[in-house]
Amino acid sequence: MLDEKTKWIEEFMRAKGSVFAQSSWYEMSQDRINAFAEATEDWQFIHIDPERAQRETSFGGTIAHGFLTLSMLAAMGGDCVPQIPGTRLSVNYGFDRVRFLSPVGAGAFIRGVFLPEDLVQKSDEELTLYWDVNIEIRGQTKPALAARWVTKRYF
């Protein structure tokens, strides 16, 4: 009989290349964008000045920072990726690639889609998970971003 951790790993590997988890929708409000601008000191007008962004860009208004959109993966993953039984610590290990494909307008809704790419079991106490992730924009066919995300689990 397989333990719960082994079952999770087998499910992950069976799902390789297909959708494993999909998050709830998150609103990219102007308040969220402004808070990110404040935290990162990135006050470019395309993010924080709706009138100027509408007047001077082809975006039709302000857009979220690409790094804000990327950082939402933490919440999205926590929302929908089931924990591996026995996990004591989960960490972000980084990205092998990130591409910002479409701007996310203020007020748009986004969600994360998680596709298993690979898993490396370094020991009984450590797993490295490789995810192909997309952040979709509600009502659009082209995603906001595509990335290969690497996370670690410790037991």
Per-residue pLDDT of the chain (155 residues; tens, 9 = 90+): 579 999 999 999 999 999 999 999 999 999 999 999 999 999 999 999 999 999 999 999 999 999 999 999 999 999 999 999 999 999 999 999 999 999 999 999 999 999 999 999 999 999 999 999 999 999 999 999 999 999 999 99
Considering the entire predicted model, what is its pTM?
0.94
Sorted by sequence, the CB contacts under 8 Å of residue 16 that are 6+ apart come out as: 115, 116, 117, 118
Handedness of CA 45, 72, 142, 27 (dihedral sign): negative
Domains within the chain, CATH numbers bracketed: 4-27+64-154 (3.10.129.10)
pLDDT value for 95: 98
pLDDT value for 122: 92
CB-based burial, 120-142: b 16+ in 10 Å, e otherwise: eeeeeeebebbbbbbbbbeeeee
pLDDT value for 1: 58
Q: How far is CA 15 from CA 33, 83, 133, in A?
A: 34, 16, 13
pLDDT value for 55: 97
